Amino acid sequence: MMKTLVVFLSLTILSFGGAHAATMSFKNNCPYTVWPGTLTSDQKPQLSTTGFELASQASFSLDTPVPWNGRFWARTGCSTDASGKFVCATADCASGQVTCNGAGAIPPATLAEFNIPAGGGQDFYDVSLVDGFNLPMSVTPQPQGGTGDCKTATCPANVNAVCPSELQKKGSDGSVVACLSACAQFGDPKYCCTPPQETKEKCPPTNYSQIFHDKCPDAYSYAYDDNQGLFTCSGGPNYLMTFCPS
């Protein structure tokens, strides 16, 4: 009798947990290999993988628990150096391994950010260039389960091609591999929206954030991007992250 009850309760908990997972799929449309990284926020346990290789045209998927706060990005130009350390030209997490193990991307990095509440409430997600840009990326809610706006958050353009020289991050061959945010490069409150310009009213767009915004109007170009880059979807959708979406 007791055993039956225990089994019943575990099954109930398991199916409840299962119904509240979000499946995150990744597709690499870039003509080169990327190495996505995953980071769970709030000191919560990390996902089943914190970093993996994704060849051109390859796909991968993993589940997040719900609620979940965290981010995804993709490293480029990675290789194992002479000392056996895994290093990347952009968005490295400095773990020395393909997995990031709780470390985040070193800017500049295009980020996909998620805030998924418990119980199928309203998800918030965005593509952020607040920490700079390294490759084009989109986040698309998948049809099953999603209700409400559920639009694609995206930075489909190659911002590296229009990156002003003072923000360029160059690779070993001299090509522009990423574009720093003006905040990261200059540390000025007017670019970082830090005191004395810490409010939205006191931190309007700048000539630099405008470059990101013009290329990618459906992404966050700086900290107070008038919520243009913030998207919502309700009802527990799954999501597709595409690298080089167009």
Ligand X SMILES: *[C@@H]1O[C@H](CO)[C@@H](O)[C@H](O)[C@H]1NC(C)=O
Q: List interacting residues with ligand X (CB under 6 A).
A: 164, 207
**Nearer Cβ to ligand X, position 22 or 179?**
179
Question: Are 106 and 169 in contact, with CB atoms under 8 Å apart?
Answer: no
Q: Are 135 and 29 in contact (CB under 8 A)?
A: no
Q: CA-CA distance, 194 to 6, in Å (whole number)?
A: 53
Name the minimum Å distance from CB 210 to ligand X: 8
DSSP for 182-238 reads HHHHH--HHHHT-TTS-STTT----HHHHHHHHH-TTSB-STT-TTTT-EEEES---
Nearest CB to ligand X, comparing residues 164 and 171: 164
DSSP secondary structure of 21-33: -EEEEEEE-SSS-
State which residue, 172 or 207, has the beta carbon closest to ligand X: 207
Q: How far is CA 165 from the centre of its chain?
A: 25
In the three-class reduction of DSSP (H, G, I as helix; E, B as strand; rest coil), residue 107 is classed as coil
Q: How far is the CB of 167 from ligand X (least distance, A)?
A: 8
CB of 191 to ligand X, least distance (A): 9
Residue closer to ligand X (CB basis): 147 or 210 = 210
Q: What's the closest the beta carbon of residue 214 comes to ligand X, in angstroms?
A: 12
Q: Residue 240 is inside which H or E element, if any? A: strand 239-243
> Among residues 137 and 157, whose Cβ is nearest to ligand X?
157
**Residue 83 vs 207, nearer CB to ligand X:** 207
At closest approach, how far in Å is the CB of 207 from ligand X? 4
Residue sitting closest to ligand X (CB): 207
Tell me how long the chain is. Answer: 246
Shortest approach of ligand X to residue 160 CB, angstroms?
15
